């Protein structure tokens, strides 16, 4: 019954949004000659800004501080998408609602960027070869946090750049140059990670949040144990918590990482039982309003994560 009700609510919202996009979408676009770009998550927003520079107006659909896994767009959000030149989303496993909105939009000229195109997604089986987490997987067993592998970031940047060039060929060289410069910065960041994480006392990340850092752990050959599954809505069982506490004690692990923008109660519980130090990690899917005001970037978030990785893993 709930599934049927949800279906009809979704249909009604899409119909309202289609009408709104026809009625208001084109009027809401600034008449300044710049591309109007709508992005779903913060990494895509930041990548698009770096690529587009002063030739684009980029908006973040996800409100500051909102958990992205549970986000559902409002009719006004769908209208914004319908009025855009380019819509950038992560992929079907992070935004399962995106394809319905794209199919329903009246804007036949919108450029759609599935950021996961050409990205090698990590499946449940591949993760189990690299880490010890076996619980709380999504139905498809696919990790959607693709931006936490820096090779994937470069693919995503290319996907966005191609869309900008197609919509605005007169500025194609500008977009390509910005993209190359940004990918060089990502290469430098990747080298910083490889150097810093090469020699650590422990190579196990114990994370009191949802399973967000699988790609990063895979890339730098780290073991990764998360209290929750791929979605923060997947509550850990008492056995999960006990297993993490036992692993911390058995392996003499001194730090537990917790998730920014969410309640750290799980990490606090484990830290209280083990005397482990708590350190924050930010998966960068979204940021706070203060971060937006301070012009926080994807790279600055990753640099701060690296500092805490070095401390928590006790790297030389």
Q: Is the same domain home to 6 and 116?
A: yes
Q: Is the same domain home to 170 and 242?
A: no
Evaluate whether residue 193 is within a structural domain: no
Q: Is the same domain home to 250 and 305?
A: yes
**CATH number of 97's domain:** 3.40.50.1980
DSSP state of 25: I
Q: Is the same domain home to 250 and 143?
A: no
Q: Is the same domain home to 149 and 181?
A: yes
* Structure-block tokens of residue 90: 């992560």
Alpha helices in the chain (DSSP H): 2-20, 26-28, 42-52, 75-82, 98-104, 124-130, 150-167, 172-196, 214-219, 238-250, 265-274, 289-293, 298-312
Q: Indicate the Cα dihedral angle 166, 120, 219, 261, nearest 10°.
A: 70
Q: How many CB atoms lie within 10 A of CB 145?
A: 25
Nearest to 113 by CA among 29, 44, 28: 44
d(CA 97, CA 73): 8
Nearest to 98 by CA among 73, 75, 66: 73
The pLDDT assigned to 135 comes to 41
DSSP string, 28-55: HS-SSSPEEEEESSHHHHHHHHHHHGGG
Domain count for the chain: 2
Q: Is the same domain home to 207 and 146?
A: no
Residues in the chain: 316
Cβ atoms of 215 and 143 closer than 8 Å: yes
Max CA pair span of the chain: 62
Q: Is the same domain home to 10 and 89?
A: yes
Domain of residue 287: give its range. Answer: 199-312
d(CA 176, CA 154): 12
Q: Is the same domain home to 68 and 215?
A: no
d(CA 188, CA 40): 26
Angle at which helices 150-167 and 42-52 cross, to 10°: 50
Evaluate whether residue 260 is within a structural domain: yes
Q: Is the same domain home to 169 and 217?
A: no
Evaluate whether residue 88 is within a structural domain: yes
Nearest to 60 by CA among 302, 215, 303, 289: 289
Q: Is the same domain home to 87 and 60?
A: yes
Nearest to 22 by CA among 113, 111, 108: 108
SS3 86: strand
Nearest to 206 by CA among 228, 180, 188, 230: 228
How do the pLDDT tens digits run along the chain, 316 residues long? Answer: 444 444 445 545 544 444 444 444 444 455 678 999 999 999 999 999 999 999 999 999 999 988 888 888 999 999 999 999 999 999 999 999 999 999 988 898 999 999 999 999 997 545 444 444 444 344 457 999 999 999 999 999 999 999 999 999 999 999 999 999 999 999 999 999 999 999 999 999 999 988 899 999 999 999 999 988 776 767 888 998 999 999 999 999 999 999 987 889 999 999 999 999 999 999 999 999 999 899 999 999 999 999 999 999 999 9
Cβ atoms of 260 and 209 closer than 8 Å: no
Q: Print burial letters for 45-76: b (CB count within 10 Å at least 16), e (below 16).
A: bbbbbbbbeebbbbebbbeeeebbbebebebe
* Structure-block tokens of residue 114: 């599935």
Evaluate whether residue 131 is within a structural domain: no
Q: Is the same domain home to 214 and 174?
A: no
Evaluate whether residue 278 is within a structural domain: yes
Evaluate whether residue 288 is within a structural domain: yes
Cβ atoms of 154 and 160 closer than 8 Å: no
Cα dihedral 234, 237, 240, 244 sign: positive
Q: Is the same domain home to 14 and 112?
A: yes
């Amino acid at each position: 019954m709930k599934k049927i009700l949800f279906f009809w609510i979704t249909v009604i919202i899409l119909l309202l949004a289609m009408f709104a996009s026809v009625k208001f979408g084109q009027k809401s676009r600034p008449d300044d000659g710049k591309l109007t770009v709508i992005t779903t998550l913060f990494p895509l927003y930041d990548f698009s800004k770096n690529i587009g520079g002063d030739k684009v107006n980029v908006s973040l659909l996800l409100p500051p501080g909102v958990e992205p896994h549970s986000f559902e767009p409002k009719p006004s959000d769908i209208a914004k998408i319908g009025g855009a030149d380019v819509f950038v989303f992560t992929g079907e496993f992070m935004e399962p609602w995106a394809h319905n909105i794209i199919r329903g939009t009246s804007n036949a000229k919108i450029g759609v960027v599935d950021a996961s195109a050409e990205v090698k997604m990590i499946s449940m089986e591949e993760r189990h070869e690299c880490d010890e987490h076996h619980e709380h997987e999504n139905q498809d067993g696919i990790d959607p946090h693709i931006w936490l592998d820096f090779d994937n970031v470069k693919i995503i940047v290319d996907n966005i750049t191609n869309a900008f060039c197609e919509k605005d060929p007169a500025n194609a060289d500008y977009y390509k140059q910005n993209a190359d410069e940004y990918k060089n910065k990502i290469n430098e960041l990747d080298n910083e990670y490889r150097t810093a994480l090469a020699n650590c006392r422990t190579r196990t990340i114990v994370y009191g949040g949802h399973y967000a850092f699988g790609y990063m752990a895979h890339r730098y050959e780290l073991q990764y144990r998360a209290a929750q599954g791929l979605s923060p809505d997947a509550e850990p069982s008492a056995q999960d918590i006990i297993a993490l506490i036992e692993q911390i004690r058995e392996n003499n692990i001194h730090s537990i990482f917790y998730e920014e923008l969410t309640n750290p109660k799980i990490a606090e519980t484990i830290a209280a039982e083990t005397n482990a130090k708590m350190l924050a990690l930010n998966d960068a899917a979204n940021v706070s309003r203060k971060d937006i005001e301070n012009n926080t970037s994807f790279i600055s978030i990753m640099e701060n994560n690296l500092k805490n990785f070095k401390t928590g893993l006790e790297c030389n």
